[in-house]
Structure 1
Amino acid sequence: MTHDAQAGVPGRYYDGQTSRAWRVVLRVRDGHACIDGETERCAPLAEVRVSERSVHARRRLTFADLASFEADEQGAFDALLDATGHRDSVVVRLQQSWRLAVGALVATAGVLVVGYLFVLPAAADLIARALPVSVERQMGDGVLAVLDRHAFAPTRLTEARRGELARDFARLAPPVEGAPAYQLLFRRSRIGPNAFALPSGEIVLTDEMVQLLGDDKAVMAVLAHELGHLHARHLTRRLIQGSVVGATGAVLFGDVSTVVAGLPALALDLRYSREAEQEADDYAADMLRRNGIAGKHLERVFTVLEEVEKEQAGMPAYLSSHPASSERLARLRARNR
């Protein structure tokens, strides 16, 4: 059935002041929405709002003073709207077409995937670079105390042994200018051999890692690798990716509580990306080479840990966060030729 838009649309008019309904007819004349019948009024089309299309409710036209017109016939009202050139919103058009809805769903999924894979890492890198050093240090304040309560115990390495390792590493020249300030700390671990760097500048080395490697130059390679993570601010960037809203607040308002809350668990349970591992590997390899230490000592770190993985049921903590794939080892060996 067709409808003559010029004949008008019958319906009810509510003045917004009382509950009374006037029987009227809505017409469009000279760019105005006009009602005639038990009451009359006109208003420019630009000053009225049309409700969204819905299968559960009649469509309404609302005036600036909140008076409204409710159409009796959906089809007649739609025809009148079409005659004026009115178009439904994008949401309504999507609801009316399953093809558009599916397309929108696919597009949304694509945007989310692209955002997660490319936009979020790039944004995290920008935020990390924008963070003042004081804020980054604040992010690490108190974290080690939490880790000491839940994952670590006091080191059993002698003071002389700790001093020897610290001095050996301090003597190594960094591969590039602008090496980050760091503090080397020793802990006994409840979760096996491990080493990691916190945003606040601490590099934590466990007794178990020192004992497992049995080679001070390999220990230097581990520390150089962690210094590489610290230099590139990998943990800060990884943390921001996991809590981008809180990190944005830290940049804008100096409130790092949201970020700090998740740092202890992340420090032990993060998994660096392939790109981050390659950057840290390159930093360590260049640092060893500059100081006359053979690159095989860095290779040894991962081959020893992989041997432990084969002998034990579980993966060493260091490998869980620093995956040593065959591709990665091959890359290191190629660099050292």
Structure 2
Amino acid sequence: MDGGATLDEAAGTAVAGRYYDGVTSRAHRVVLRVRDGHACLEGEAERCTPLNDIRVSERSTHAPRKLTFADEAVFEPDERGAMEALLHATGHRDSTVVWMQQSWRAVLASFAMLVIVLVVGYLFVVPAGAKLVARMLPASVERQLGEGVLKMLDRRVFSPTRLAASRQEELAQAFAQLAPPEDGAPPYRLVFRRSRIGPNAFALPSGDIVLTDELVNLLEDDKAVLATLAHELGHLHERHMTRRLIQGSAVAAVITVVVGDAGSLVAGLPTMALDMRYSRDAEQEADDYAAAMLHRNGIPLAHLERLFATLEGLEKEHGAMPPYLASHPPSAERLARLRERLR
């Protein structure tokens, strides 16, 4: 409680109220006055305390302020107006934080700034941080993360493949013989599964590229299958899944702090991995990686075009996009971009 140049004015102001000494629950009837830089109580209890040793409670819409002394004794005024007049006379000023809490304009401005910070953080800071963390993350951690997610998916979504072992070997060997478009291609393992939710293919941080029977049967073109695998290898090369899992976990962690449900973060990992929406830039990077890989190995880009065209037809047929399509940009956009490149 600050004492200002208006103490003479404050000396003429008396505020009636109740005083609690902090020892008993009894309310003592007193009158508060300010004299010579001190707050003095008169009546059933008497004391004088320097103004600077008194804490003033925050302003409230309906309740009067309270004064708290160093020994935790409290003075409660009977009238809010009288108390405010005395505080004003002593030169007391609320802190900036208290003022902002009482101003709807300040609250609105603070909320707007918070939204801007969250949006900028989500769009730029979190992706940049996830990319940095993904690069620094040991391969063993990525492997454990991917293996754990695959085990959960096997329990909930996948069942053993029905493709013949010879068919699996044929596709695996064909892809293994392709040269990567650049040095430093990531190690991978091709995993075949039968899916309860239709055509799908994705790469896990462990290096596992999951390819479902349904997608192989849908494409009916081995080179289009190879184009799909090249696309997923591009995601591995750029560590897109690791980056997105880090981003998703960061956002989920913030929500967990607010909501307090840490279990949902772990339980949601399989769904997060299966229905992960890459950014448009990430998908274009993977598409470009696949196109470069096909070109280096003398495979016409028409097979990548066939992949997009098939997926586009599936979109039109089903209306609502299947999981594989929901996690990728519209095939029509990718097809148009590829055709522009083929010109």
| TM-score, length basis structure 1 | 0.84
1:159 corresponds to which of 141, 160, 165: 165
Q: Does 1:69 align with 2:75?
A: yes
Counterpart of 1:252 in structure 2 is none
Counterpart of 1:322 in structure 2 is 328
Moved more, 322-331 or 298-307: 322-331
**Can you list the C-alpha shifts for 1:111-157, whole angstroms capped at 9, x where unaligned?**
33333333333343344334332222222233223322332222222
**Can you list the C-alpha shifts for 1:152-211, whole angstroms capped at 9, x where unaligned?**
222222222211211222222223333222110111222222111112221011122222
2:58 corresponds to which of 36, 52, 55: 52
Counterpart of 2:139 in structure 1 is 133
Counterpart of 2:274 in structure 1 is 268
1:205-284 paired onto structure 2 within 5 Å: 205-244=211-250, 260-284=266-290
* SS across alignment from 1:20: coil
Counterpart of 1:17 in structure 2 is 23
Counterpart of 2:4 in structure 1 is none
Q: Does 1:142 align with 2:148?
A: yes
**Over aligned residues, Cα RMSD in angstroms?**
2.9
Distance in 2, Cα, partners of 1:182 & 1:33: 77
Name the aligned partner's letter for residue 214 of structure 1: E
Counterpart of 2:295 in structure 1 is 289
Distance in 1, Cα, partners of 2:45 & 2:155: 78
Distance in 2, Cα, partners of 1:77 & 1:312: 70
Name the aligned partner's letter for residue 300 of structure 2: A
Distance in 1, Cα, partners of 2:32 & 2:285: 70
**Using a 3 Å threshold, how does the CA distance of structure 1 residues 328 and 32 change in structure 2: closer, same or farther?**
farther
Contact 2:134 2:243 in 1 (8 A): yes
Contact 1:225 1:281 in 2 (8 A): yes
Counterpart of 1:299 in structure 2 is 305
* SS across alignment from 2:268: helix
Moved more, 131-140 or 121-130: 121-130
Deviation at 1:246, TM superposition (A): 6.5
2:32 corresponds to which of 19, 26, 32: 26
Q: Does 1:309 align with 2:315?
A: yes
Deviation at 1:17, TM superposition (A): 0.5
**Using a 3 Å threshold, how does the CA distance of structure 1 residues 44 and 234 change in structure 2: closer, same or farther?**
farther
Counterpart of 1:251 in structure 2 is none
1:77-96 paired onto structure 2 within 5 Å: 77-90=83-96, 92-94=98-100, 96=102
- Work out the number of aligned pairs and report it: 328
* SS across alignment from 2:217: helix
Deviation at 1:301, TM superposition (A): 0.8
**Can you list the C-alpha shifts for 1:267-317, whole angstroms capped at 9, x where unaligned?**
222222212211211222222223232222222211111122323454343
**Using a 3 Å threshold, how does the CA distance of structure 1 residues 87 and 174 change in structure 2: closer, same or farther?**
farther
Distance in 1, Cα, partners of 2:149 & 2:242: 13
Contact 2:142 2:205 in 1 (8 A): yes
Moved more, 185-194 or 173-182: 173-182
**Using a 3 Å threshold, how does the CA distance of structure 1 residues 22 and 238 change in structure 2: closer, same or farther?**
same
Q: Does 1:102 align with 2:135?
A: no
Counterpart of 1:7 in structure 2 is 12
* SS across alignment from 1:271: coil
* SS across alignment from 1:141: helix
**Using a 3 Å threshold, how does the CA distance of structure 1 residues 313 and 106 change in structure 2: closer, same or farther?**
closer
Structure 2 portions without partners, runs of 5+? 1-7, 255-261
Q: Does 1:117 align with 2:120?
A: no
Distance in 2, Cα, partners of 1:128 & 1:83: 60
Name the aligned partner's letter for residue 165 of structure 2: E
Contact 1:59 1:74 in 2 (8 A): yes
**Using a 3 Å threshold, how does the CA distance of structure 1 residues 184 and 194 change in structure 2: closer, same or farther?**
same
Name the aligned partner's letter for residue 26 of structure 1: L
Distance in 1, Cα, partners of 2:200 & 2:147: 20
Q: Does 1:202 align with 2:208?
A: yes
Deviation at 1:212, TM superposition (A): 2.0
Name the aligned partner's letter for residue 54 of structure 1: S
| TM-score, length basis structure 2 | 0.83
